Chains A and B, each alone.
Chain A
Amino acid sequence: MSKTANTLPGNRKRPSPGRSRSPVGRIHPVVIYPIVQPRDYSDLQALYQLVRRLAADKSRYARPITVLDRKTHYAMRGDKAFLDFRRHTVSRCSEVLDVWAVDTCQMWYSGLGAAYERGGERDVYWLIPGDFNYGTKVGRQVLNRLHDLPEIILELDQDLCIGEIATDHNNPKQLIDTYGTFGLLYTWFPAEAQEIRQYTERPRSEFLAVRHGFLGEALCQRWYPYEQTMVMLLQAIFGNKGITRFFVGDISDLPEGKESLASAMQQVERTERVLKTVWRERHQGDADWIERYRELAGASGQVRYTAISILRNLLA
């Protein structure tokens, strides 16, 4: 297939889309700072080199926002390296949004919400997770591709662009999605699950970009405290929005992010909880919804039990 050379965002010429109906939207980068501060700053250094370039390109990018959990702040209180990194690197190229958050998805909510309030109708919001190995050779290649996500929204007039990373079949996240996420999605939303799978194998990806209008809709609906990407994918399909999946490269979580069996179980349980809630909210006006819900809940419990059994065999 086609080969392209990637150039660094901020160092490249502005795309001149042929099909865009939104010629001059601005891009709002929102960085989710790792909750657990890694010992080695090399990955974050690489990430903030990108953020610095984005901040310098004021015609194209709004000032980036870094969302930092107060728990991280207090855990690192008195740590000179952390305080210096925050002061001399993070704060210089982004606005730090200090939040108390129960979960990463609440950090997304705070960051995307803050950016949304500064944005306009043509703008795009670009979520960048902070806890990936950007400092490695492969990680830097991914960093050079991430800018495609918001650009695709602008150029092709899309509403949601999901960045997909390559993982091997034994990667814990892949296992969770294969045996847990999709099993549960097919149970609660079979038609939508098929549609989602036509786009991506990673419906819980943390790499995404979203258009102003669709983000506004998502923000004003219930914001679930976990698996928000999956919820946004469902909302996009319910609303017949434009969805694109784009491959951003091979990358793995930092060691701090590796999945234990307990973490995998928690993710499957959370996915089920979210899907139950979304289903109820969509069907609670139907006459027979309680009977249908009970039936689906029974099937869902079996899927969850099977998924956890498989994950126990594979991850324990």
Chain B
Amino acid sequence: MRAFAYQKPLRAINFICHAPEAKTVSLVGDFNEWNPAALPMKQMPDRSWLLTVELKHGHHRYAFLVDGVLTLDPSAQGITRNDKGERVCLVPVS
């Protein structure tokens, strides 16, 4: 067993949003204080939106902002609510 440690390793996580008709998509979550401008996603040739973010170990709440509308990730591993009471997704990072 590894020793107890207060380390926060980072791990690269891929977020993919299927919104082919959207004009802008960004990633919001606990990790960027839900700032809509902090993490814009890039549209791929297949018209889905991709962003790779390094996240600390633990569980993070997030959602996509698709043309300004808070949108859940259908393949998220969990569902919860943010501090505003909005339904958002959950990603575990280990």
Residues of A within 8 A of B (CB): 1-7, 10-19, 53, 56-57, 59-60, 148, 151-152, 155-156, 158, 198-200, 242-247
Is the beta-carbon distance between B94 and A6 smaller than 8 angstroms?
yes
Q: Shortest distance in angstroms between A291's beta carbon and chain B's nearest beta carbon?
A: 34
Is the beta-carbon distance between B1 and A3 smaller than 8 angstroms?
no
- Enumerate the 6 nearest inter-chain pairs by beta-carbon distance, A residue then B residue, closest first: A244-B80, A246-B78, A1-B75, A2-B13, A15-B58, A2-B91
Residues of B within 8 A of A (CB): 1-2, 4-9, 11, 13-16, 30-31, 56-59, 61, 73, 75-81, 87, 90-94
Given the complex of chains A and B, what is the CA–CA distance between A244 and B60 in angstroms? Answer: 12
For B94, the chain A residues whose CB sits under 8 A away are 4-7, 12
Given the complex of chains A and B, what is the CA–CA distance between A19 and B5 in angstroms? Answer: 18
Is the beta-carbon distance between A152 and B59 smaller than 8 angstroms?
yes
Q: At the interface, is chain A mostly helix, strand, loop or mixed?
A: loop
Given the complex of chains A and B, what is the CA–CA distance between A60 and B5 in angstroms? Answer: 12
Is the beta-carbon distance between A53 and B1 smaller than 8 angstroms?
yes
Q: Knowing A1-B15, A2-B14, A148-B92 touch, does A16 contact B77 (C-beta < 8 A)?
A: no
Q: Knowing A4-B94, A246-B78 touch, does A15 contact B14 (C-beta < 8 A)?
A: no
Q: Shortest distance in angstroms between B50's beta carbon and chain A's nearest beta carbon?
A: 11
Given the complex of chains A and B, what is the CA–CA distance between A200 and B77 in angstroms? Answer: 12
Among A6, A18, A57, A243, which residue has its beta carbon within 8 angstroms of that of B58?
A18
Is the beta-carbon distance between A4 and B81 smaller than 8 angstroms?
no
Q: Knowing A1-B15, A4-B92, A13-B7 touch, does A57 contact B1 (C-beta < 8 A)?
A: yes
B83 closest partner in A (C-beta): A19
For B7, the chain A residues whose CB sits under 8 A away are 13, 16
Q: Shortest distance in angstroms between A203's beta carbon and chain B's nearest beta carbon?
A: 13
Among B1, B16, B93, which residue has its beta carbon within 8 angstroms of that of A4?
B93
A5 closest partner in B (C-beta): B94
Is the beta-carbon distance between B13 and A4 smaller than 8 angstroms?
yes
For B73, the chain A residues whose CB sits under 8 A away are 1
Q: Knowing A155-B58, A244-B79 touch, does A10 contact B1 (C-beta < 8 A)?
A: yes
